[in-house]
Chains A and B, each alone.
Chain A
Amino acid sequence: MTQFESKSPTTPVPAERRDESVPLPPALEPLPVARLYRAANLTALSFQSTADLEPADGLVGQRRALDALAFGTRAGQPGFNLFVIGPSGLRAQRAIEHVLKDAAGERRCPCDWVYVNNFADPRKPVAIELPAGRAVEFRDAMRAFIDDLKTALPAVFESEDYQNRRGAIDQAFQAKQADAFTALQEKAAEKEIIILRTPMGFALAPAREGKPVPPEEFRAWPEAKRKDIQATIEQLEKELEHIVRQLPQWETERRDDVRKLNRETAKYPIGHFIDKTKAQFADVAKVQAHLEAIRADLIENIAMFVVKSEGEGPPLQDLLEAPFDRYTVNVLVGHAAPEPLVPVIEELHPTLGNLLGSIEYISQHGVLVTNFRLIKAGAVHRANGGFLLLDARSLLTEAFSWTALKRTLRQREIRIEDLGRFIGMTSTVSLEPDPIPLDVKVVLFGDRLLYYLLAAYDPDLTEHFKVLADLEDDIDRTPESEAAHARMIAALVSRQGLKPVDRAGTALLIEHAARLADHANKLTLVVDQLEDVVAEADFWAGKESRAVILRADVETAIEQRIHRSSRLRDRAQESILEEVALIDTSGARVGQVNGLSVAELAGFRFGRPTRITCRVRPGTGKVVDIEREVALGGPIHSKGVLILSGFLAGRYALDTPMSLFASLVFEQSYGGVEGDSASSAELYALLSALAELPLRQDLAVTGSVNQQGYVQAIGGVNEKIEGFFDICRKRGLTGTQGVLVPDANVQHLMLRRDVIEACSAGKFFIYPITTIDAGIGLLTGRVAGERGSDGLYPAHSLNRLVEDRLHAFARIRQSFGQQALSSNESRP
């Protein structure tokens, strides 16, 4: 291992170098402390605590989404429903509802809807639209109407006049029967024939003095007389049969007369109450039509309500209750009068029934039956005229709900669909209620992945949800946005009933918002995470019996949240410190570098160093990524490695076939590896192996590289730096350790306080790197070098060493090729 002496903390020089002709790489300054963390600037806001601030309601920094909402909620054409997407964990629904309620004020008042019986076809209940607030009035009016009828009808049918007329009909009927039979009986008596009852009917027999003639006496009569009697009996039999055959007809006539009497009797009281109710709803044509249908039905079926004799049949109440149910009103959706609110309805459990309504059944005598009174409204009904809020994931995971919603939006009417009939599980008679016209704005909430997947795989999405409201993850950090965040913190404190946060605590929360945004110049808009921190800080303040949340409470809250989640991080560090996982933090090695990776589990991210090594030999130009070879490397990782081949091929030994074999590996990594943030580290290791120059082990490297050698930005830079710092700190900072980061990532730095303190004390360094040449210079202490006019890199430069090595590999390969050729030629 090569020892370094420190000429300056930034450019260590190999101790054994004696030749002054070997150029040193240009000095690379570490980042000043000021660039490692951006403090909050609340100078424009004068307050001691958030209690002094005006809370900021609604959505802060969401101009794009707010503009989309403003348009989508007002666009009147079909299909302009909204899909609100945003980062996971963003609970913007409440804030969106606020916006919707403002827009609701511009929509026309929603209507009430009721279902009533369809007398012509009870399977198809009739839907009636009423002005807002009048559905309940209609229902109550019909209840009063029914109550009035229950009193009035029995009284009418118990009246003396009705009883007399009914009695007259019955009497006339009975008299007709009696007269017919009596006439027959008299005629028979005249001819000395009597009518007898048999168990199953009647018989006519010759008689004498009113008694049947015994058979032996009859047989003794003269034949003429017998024949005469027989003929008479036959004639009378015909007449008897004729009368008996007429009985059903007379009974029918009697029933018709009774029915006519009942209709005439009922007409006045029914008409009186119908007209009274009609006057109350003179402005609703369908109610008028329905009441006329009730009038006709009542008159036609008045027999159902005619009071029977006492003790006959069921009790009067039972008799009258069920038949009148057909005239009741099922209020499907009713709004408050006189100023109904435009509905903003959120359906948390969007099953098909909860969404589009359902038809219930009751069991009667073992059979499932239903009627118009068992129709139940769904969320779409309740939201009709306003807004319906649905969670996209919940909607998609409920069977049939998504397709049913699309169908409803396409048809622009709400049809209640019976799930049981859908899947053929029920065969009982069901209902087909009138559909109700749809006038609802649907607002779906979902995460971005879900939205883009739906957009890719469901062509109906853009047909029905034309307005995308894309909520920002973060906002540019300016004094104005910081002030807005302070007010936002005041709002969430107020909403949650927490203690106010002092000025310093507020500043820390704003800085934490930048850390959560992974950017020093941005602030996260996922306020739910801040809300959780404030809630925990409130707890810690309460433990100290403080009335105000201080900065220390906020710090404690942040630390405790990390502490609770950091068990795996601590175990990983432990394995390094115990040298189970081998990581060097001092010295130098050829072909070995400290790469950095980040792991994220359940929202907690932590960085850790990983040893990356490279071995080289002559070969056919292949750079082997061992992770990819064993299927542990993801495609992006593999892409990064392949880029190294491109870099080499484009820079070195351009006049020679690439005769390199190199293998790269993440040592002691047994899980999957993805991403290209370590590709610059891999390239350093490869160059080190080719040039046979050692790399500093007190430095860690992160950054992806392109084929031209530029170092590109990566993610999780703060966690990666802190991951290497933790190891170095626990082993004891040497004063030379640090991390190479892409220059493009400097704007993302919001490091921990202990890292900043170490950097401030000159014990740890963060180097911004833009090119591989700069990085390799820092890691090797050797300048990379630039190709001169002679086409060569400067002697002793790293690039020269690499190119010379590649030429050597090419010669070795060439000589092997010639030997093989000679060997072939010499064979007979």
Chain B
Amino acid sequence: MNGARMRYRRMVVGLPQGRANQSAVEATADLAEFLQIELLATFLADATLSALAGLSAVRELRTLDLGWQALDVAQIARDLDYAARRARRHFAQTIGTRAIKSSFDIVTGAAAMAGLIRADDIVAIIEPAHPGERITRQFAELLDAAFAAAGAVLIVPRQIAHTRGPIAALATNSEDECIYAALQIAAAFSERLVVVTAPGARLPDVILAEAQRLGVKVETVARGGLLAAPSVFSQIETRLRPRLRVLSRGALSEDARRLFASLHGIPLLVVAPNPARAAAAPPTEEEYPPHPLPFPPPRAGEG
């Protein structure tokens, strides 16, 4: 990994009850392999479903035939078992002969999931195959658990647009944590780093020195030079064709569940602040000329 001091030690990918898109799982495994970190796949088997089987008010809409039927405990158990085995099999196929440590686990709910996640984990959330899955309680709990506990959350679209290309860091300031994370990842991928930042912003010497040490070519792109567009993401994709975007959690404005619509096939890594670097003095506004941010400011309560 070119000597980069990797902040992250493990990638945890949450596999849904429904069928996970194989190329997305592959992309997750690729990242883990390049970063040389352990890959843990977790299958979320919601235990509450069986409990709800006793309620007559609760029925299941089966997407195959769009028919309603009462929840059947035995049937749910069978379906969960089948889905878990299918997920394990596909995961094993994905791992194949990759030279990374991997494991597969079945967790019974969000709480169990949350207990599993560590601060130095990257939690990979794969875009569900069915759009309805994004509004389910399980998905919401997965996202919450990931954003609450993980060092970074990787949002992976169903179809990956590029398997080569630069790593784009969408920085809000020159000390943005996403730059450091993106730099490490760029070194691991042997790709160049493109920092999208405010016009006139200059990257700190420590980043440049680290980039030089890691042998990563760094470019900066000014946000102001981009055309106004419904989504900054689409502009970045078109011009730079990055293989990965990196963003700090603080800059994330959208509801994570709505992020998938904006991905355009490029995974997004949302990094949490680095406690080690939080001790450094935050940049003052005088360092940067005022410039409208491309994103709305984070809503209160959102991390």
Contact = CB atoms under 8 A, between A and B. Distances in A.
Contact of B138 (A182, A197, A312): A197
Contacts of B54: 215
B131 A312 contact: no
A199 B238 contact: no
A206 B230 CA distance: 37
A649 interface: no
Contacts of A631: none
Interface string A188-218: 0000001111111111111100111011001
Contact of A247 (B48, B131, B237): B131
A647 interface: no
Contact of B132 (A171, A181, A312): A181
Nearest to B233: A167
A178 B63 contact: no
A214 B132 contact: no
A218 B257 contact: no
A358 interface: no
Interface string B81-121: 01100000000000000000000000000000000000000
Interface in B127-152: 131-140
B234 A199 contact: no
A168 interface: yes
Interface string B28-66: 000000000000000000101101101111111111101
B78 to A, nearest CB: 9
Nearest to B54: A215
A241 interface: yes
B137 A210 contact: yes
A198 B76 contact: yes
B57 A163 contact: no
Contacts of B133: 197
Given A244-B66, A247-B131, A202 B60 contact: yes
B17 interface: yes
A200 B64 contact: yes
Contacts of A656: none
Nearest to B163: A311
Contact of A181 (B57, B80, B134): B134
Given A181-B131, A198-B60, A215 B16 contact: no
B200 interface: no
Given A196-B136, A212-B48, A212-B137, A201 B230 contact: no
Interface string A237-250: 10011011101000
A233 B132 contact: no
Interface centre among A160, A198, A207, A215 (most CB of B within 10 A): A198
A48 interface: no
Contacts of B52: 196, 203, 205, 212, 215
B245 to A, nearest CB: 14
A195 B55 contact: no
A211 B58 CA distance: 14
A164 interface: yes
Contacts of A226: 57
Contacts of B76: 198-199
Interface in B159-209: 159-164
Given A195-B136, A205-B52, A309-B160, A160 B239 contact: yes
A310 interface: yes
Contacts of A198: 17, 49, 60, 71, 76, 79
B231 A171 contact: yes
B71 A309 contact: no
Interface centre among B61, B71, B164 (most CB of A within 10 A): B61
Nearest to B243: A310
Interface residues of A, number: 50
Interface centre among B66, B231, B264 (most CB of A within 10 A): B264
A197 B16 contact: yes
Contacts of A215: 51-52, 54-55
A825 B18 CA distance: 131
A200 B79 contact: yes
A185 interface: yes
Interface residues of B, number: 59
Given A218-B57, A233-B58, A199 B136 contact: no
Contacts of A56: none
Nearest to B231: A171
Interface string A506-545: 0000000000000000000000000000000000000000
A432 interface: no
B134 A178 contact: yes
A230 interface: yes
A183 to B, nearest CB: 9
Interface in A132-173: 160, 163-164, 167-168, 170-171
B261 interface: yes
Nearest to B68: A237
B63 A200 contact: yes
Contacts of B68: 237, 241
B262 interface: yes
A309 B137 CA distance: 33
A265 interface: no
Interface centre among A178, A214, A247 (most CB of B within 10 A): A178
Interface centre among B16, B57, B136, B235 (most CB of A within 10 A): B57
A415 B237 CA distance: 56
A309 B161 contact: yes
Interface in B256-285: 257-258, 260-262, 264-265
B23 interface: yes
Contacts of A177: 131
A202 B264 contact: no
Given A163-B237, A178-B261, A199 B131 contact: no
Nearest to A243: B132
B51 A175 contact: no
Nearest to A167: B234
Contacts of A203: 49, 52, 58-61, 71
A185 B258 CA distance: 13
A160 B230 CA distance: 14
A309 B57 contact: no
A237 B79 contact: no
A241 to B, nearest CB: 6
B300 interface: no
Contacts of A206: 55, 57
A163 B233 CA distance: 12
Given A203-B58, A240-B61, A196 B229 contact: no
A143 to B, nearest CB: 31
A229 B57 contact: yes
A184 interface: yes
Given A168-B230, A178-B134, A206-B57, A310 B49 contact: no
A551 to B, nearest CB: 90
Nearest to B160: A309
B136 A309 contact: no
A196 B264 contact: no
A174 interface: yes
Contacts of A241: 61, 66, 68
A181 B61 contact: no
B131 A178 contact: yes
Nearest to A210: B137
A241 B57 CA distance: 16
A209 to B, nearest CB: 12
A312 B160 contact: yes
A233 B60 CA distance: 12
17 contacts: A160-B238, A163-B234, A163-B238, A167-B237, A167-B264, A171-B231, A174-B131, A181-B134, A185-B135, A196-B138, A197-B139, A198-B17, A200-B63, A202-B61, A202-B63, A309-B162, A311-B164
- 9 tightest A-B contacts by CB? A199-B79, A174-B261, A185-B135, A311-B163, A177-B131, A215-B54, A197-B136, A201-B62, A199-B83
Given A181-B131, A197-B138, 20 more contacts: A160-B238, A164-B235, A167-B238, A167-B264, A177-B131, A178-B261, A196-B49, A198-B49, A199-B17, A199-B82, A201-B60, A201-B63, A202-B60, A203-B60, A203-B61, A204-B58, A210-B137, A215-B51, A240-B61, A240-B132
